[in-house]
Amino acid sequence: MTPTPTTDTMLGEFFFSHMSRVLLKISGEMLSGEKEQFDLGSLKFLCDEIRPAVQNGVQVGIVLGGGNLWRGRDQEAYGFFRGESDKIGMLATVINALVVSNFFALHGIPAEVLSARIMQNICEPFSRERAEKGFAEGKVILFAGGTGSPFFTTDSAAALRAVETQCDFLAKATTVEGVFTADPKKDPHAQKYETLSFHEAIQKDLKVMDASAFSLCKENAVPIRVFDGFIPGNISAILQGKNIGTLVQ
């Protein structure tokens, strides 16, 4: 199938004009610098991107990856069992969420961490009721601890939280401008999809998100917007309804 022409944006514009709650999926690498696990410039960038949407009344939930602290490939190097490695990864997402929430609070953005794993005296456990209360109070809600179970990625956690908290859409920040027919970093002829169905994304085995995340969003009619989160202004724009990246629905 040929990617939808870039001029065909009416559906996306109509949809985004009605949104008010967004689940933002961010990789742990977006928090780090070239050598540091946490980079002040990266944290400030994220803070400045999210502030305008929050000030305009958009309810923002965030699921952070843990790749700046621990990645799946680390288990192979150490020879760890996947389930135990995933526990380390879940803890990494809690650490990231605590860093971001504290940084946000210091820069005028109220935030709260809700963990899928019980972390007594560190952060509150996740529940839909707690999330709703936080959103109503104008807080950015950071969903940590993955799904709470091993063998699931943070993409799946993002899809799950987007469904549970009835987000209008899930925004996946990546290092490229959307979903392409091939890896644009390797294939100069790769073409970007403007819109894409869940069926096509799963059938074509497009690697931008795992199949379980796509399936969960498909079953619950939660659209996904895939975009380049490293371009200044893109996160802010997408949280406020701009039609950028690729819309999967």
Q: Tally DSSP H helices, then E strands, for the chain.
A: 9, 11
Q: Which amino acid is at 183?
A: D
- 63-87 pLDDT tens trace: 999 999 998 777 888 889 999 999 9
User: pLDDT confidence of 237, banded at 50, 70, 90?
Assistant: very high
Across 44-61, b (16+ Cβ under 10 Å) vs e yields ebbbebbbebbeeebbbb
The answer to whether the beta carbons of residues 60 and 53 sit under 8 Å apart is: yes
C-alpha–C-alpha distance, residues 195 and 223, integer Å: 11
- 106-164 pLDDT tens trace: 999 999 999 999 999 999 999 999 999 999 999 999 999 999 999 999 999 999 999 99
pTM comes to 0.90
- Which of 4-18, 144-158, 195-209 has the weakest average pLDDT? 4-18
C-alpha–C-alpha distance, residues 116 and 188, integer Å: 41
User: pLDDT confidence of 2, banded at 50, 70, 90?
Assistant: very low
C-alpha–C-alpha distance, residues 204 and 248, integer Å: 13
The answer to whether the beta carbons of residues 12 and 247 sit under 8 Å apart is: yes
The answer to whether the beta carbons of residues 21 and 167 sit under 8 Å apart is: yes
CATH number belonging to domain 10-248: 3.40.1160.10
Provide the token pair at 20. 């008010």
C-alpha–C-alpha distance, residues 144 and 47, integer Å: 18
